[in-house]
């Protein structure tokens, strides 16, 4: 089937010559991105401060993308002025300013070259839309959404459970369902029986996430540090050994690749994002068939792809079992990449299909 430019499903901005000057490839290392979510007053800013301090103690460089619905970034005032920070004010990251997220992320990476970016979303943001907005940056820079941390106010959630309905309850539940790490915060404000009840609900809504009961967001983050250390080791190995391509497209040595296998998040994660930087060009019809055959658990995909049977590159979008392509002519370097957002799909199986698809391109 001949591919033509068309309306892009869910595209937030186009790769035109004008935009390309702003969203050019930032640098060659893959930067880990962690999203911090949770309803208003749950303790996200406290968690952010703890993560920044712990990151710096490990000799890594953090950066922050802060979202506030209002026009003044009050939470940002709690962050050390030495930490690079971008602000998205006057709207919610999942709706009115969604299109700015990728641009701000890429600019942060390009200017400061951090090892990790923490995004604190406003407490009223819809989580699935945030995942989509954040993953957009993977199209223009080596930025990988590595995890979602949700802070839950134990007393507030208990009160909402007693009511059982309402928009706030639904939003809190949705924020929990997309999480990789759940902090049941302010655990000292409820009793043991109530904590046990809350943990049962959290596990029912999200069977795969790590759950910790915390006071003032004091938690253990071994999985997060393993991921960041893995990235740092991979970057160092890149300069001393021949590169191989991992499941995220990051160049790693064999030893680092083995380490990635040990610490890579499990295939049964509930809702997650898989990023793969593509090794070369592919036949357009085979690629279209690949998208048609995506498992039902993948409900959104996007990326940049080069075809062997066409002269231009394409921005592709996949949603609701439909795919669309738009011709692009980047003015600066952008990598071919595919980003998959979904629920309960096997990354190992999808990775295997990608390897077969691009076997002739490596």
pLDDT 10s digits, 194-232: 999 999 999 999 999 999 999 999 988 776 676 666 655
Check residues 171 and 254 and name the one with the higher pLDDT: 171
Does this model's pTM top 0.85? My answer is: no
Q: How many CA atoms lie within 13 A of 148 on its CB side?
A: 31
- Specify the range with the lowest mean pLDDT, choosing from 13-22, 72-81, 174-183, 264-273: 13-22
185 pLDDT more than 90? yes
Q: Dihedrals φ, ψ of 85, to 5°?
A: -145, 135
**Confidence band for 103, pLDDT divided at 50, 70 and 90:** confident
- Tell me which residue of 335, 334, 333, 330 sits closest to 17, measured CA to CA: 330
Better-scored residue on pLDDT, 83 or 87: 83
Sheet with 322-328, edge to edge strand ranges = 271-277, 337-343, 298-306, 313-319, 322-328
Is residue 164 scored above 90 in pLDDT? no
Superfamily of domain 31-222: P-loop containing nucleotide triphosphate hydrolases (3.40.50.300)
Q: pLDDT averaged over the chain?
A: 74
Q: How far apart are CA 210 and CA 177, in angstroms?
A: 12
pLDDT at residue number 87: 65
How confident is the model at residue 158, as a pLDDT? 93
Question: What is the pLDDT at residue 234?
Answer: 58
Residue found by looking up tokens 């959630």 in the block = 157
Give the pLDDT of residue 143. Answer: 86
pLDDT of residue 161: 92
Distance CA 122, CA 124 (A): 6
Encode the chain in three state secondary structure. Answer: CCCCCCCCCCCCCCCCHHHHCCCCCCCCCCEEEEEEECCCCCCHHHHHHHHHHHHHHCCCCEEEEEECCCCCCCHHHHCCCCCCEEEECCCCCCCCCCCHHHHHHHHHHHHHCCCEEEEECCCCCCHHHHHHHHHHHHHCCCEEEEEEEEEEEHHHHHHHHHHCCCHHHHHHHHHHHCCCEEEEECHHHCCHHHHHHHHHHHHHHCCCCEEEECCCCCCCCHHHHHHHHHHHHHHHHHCCCCCEECCCCCEECHHHHHHHHHHCCCCCCCEEEEEEECCCCECHHHHHHHHHCCCCCEEEEEEEEEECCCCCEEEEEEECCEEEEEEECCCCCCCCEEEEEEECCCHHHHHHHHHHHCCCCC
Q: Is the pLDDT assigned to residue 76 strictly greater than 60?
A: no
Task: Provide the token pair at 311.
Answer: 């002269």
User: 325 CB contacts (<8 Å, ≥6 apart)?
Assistant: 3, 4, 5, 6, 314, 315, 316, 317
Q: Tell the residue number behind the tokens 């001949």, with chain if given.
A: 2
Q: What is the pLDDT of residue 80?
A: 58
Residue 281 banded pLDDT, cuts 50, 70, 90: very high
Residue with tokens 């506030």: 68
Answer whether residue 285 shows pLDDT above 70. yes
pLDDT digits (tens, 9 = 90+) for 318-358: 876 788 888 887 766 778 888 887 767 888 999 999 999 98
Q: Contact, 318 vs 297, CB < 8 A?
A: no
């Amino acid at each position: 089937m001949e591919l033509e430019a068309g309306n892009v499903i869910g595209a937030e901005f186009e790769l035109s010559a004008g935009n390309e000057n702003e969203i050019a490839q930032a640098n060659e290392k893959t930067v880990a991105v962690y999203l911090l979510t949770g309803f208003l007053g749950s303790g996200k800013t406290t968690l952010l401060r703890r993560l920044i301090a712990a990151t710096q103690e490990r000799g890594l460089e953090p950066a922050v993308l802060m979202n506030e619905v209002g026009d003044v970034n009050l939470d940002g005032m709690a962050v050390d002025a030495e930490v690079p920070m971008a602000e998205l004010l006057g709207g919610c990251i999942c709706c009115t300013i969604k299109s700015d997220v990728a641009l701000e992320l890429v600019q942060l990476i390009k200017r400061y070259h951090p090892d990790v970016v923490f995004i604190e979303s406003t407490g009223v943001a819809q989580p699935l839309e945030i995942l989509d907005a954040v993953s957009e940056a993977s199209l223009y820079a080596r930025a990988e959404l590595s995890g979602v941390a949700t802070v839950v106010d134990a007393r507030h959630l208990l009160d909402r459970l007693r009511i059982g309905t309402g928009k706030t309850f639904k939003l809190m539940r949705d924020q929990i369902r997309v999480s990789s790490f759940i902090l049941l915060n302010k655990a000292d404000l409820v009793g043991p029986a109530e904590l046990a009840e809350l943990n049962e609900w959290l596990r029912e809504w999200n069977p795969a996430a790590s759950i910790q009961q915390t006071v003032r967001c004091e938690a253990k983050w071994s999985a997060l540090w393993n991921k960041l250390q893995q990235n740092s080791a991979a970057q160092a190995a890149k300069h001393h050994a021949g590169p191989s391509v991992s499941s995220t497209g990051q160049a790693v040595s064999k030893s680092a690749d083995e380490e990635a296998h040990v610490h890579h998040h499990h295939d049964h994660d509930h809702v997650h994002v898989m990023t793969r930087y593509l090794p070369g060009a592919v036949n357009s019809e085979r690629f279209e068939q690949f998208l048609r055959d995506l498992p039902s658990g993948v409900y959104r995909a996007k990326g940049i792809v080069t075809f062997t049977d066409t002269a231009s590159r394409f921005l592709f979008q996949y949603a609701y079992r439909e795919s669309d392509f738009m011709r692009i002519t980047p003015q600066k370097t952008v990598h071919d990449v595919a980003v998959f957002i979904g629920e309960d799909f096997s990354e190992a199986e999808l990775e295997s299909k990608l390897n077969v698809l691009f076997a002739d391109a490596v």
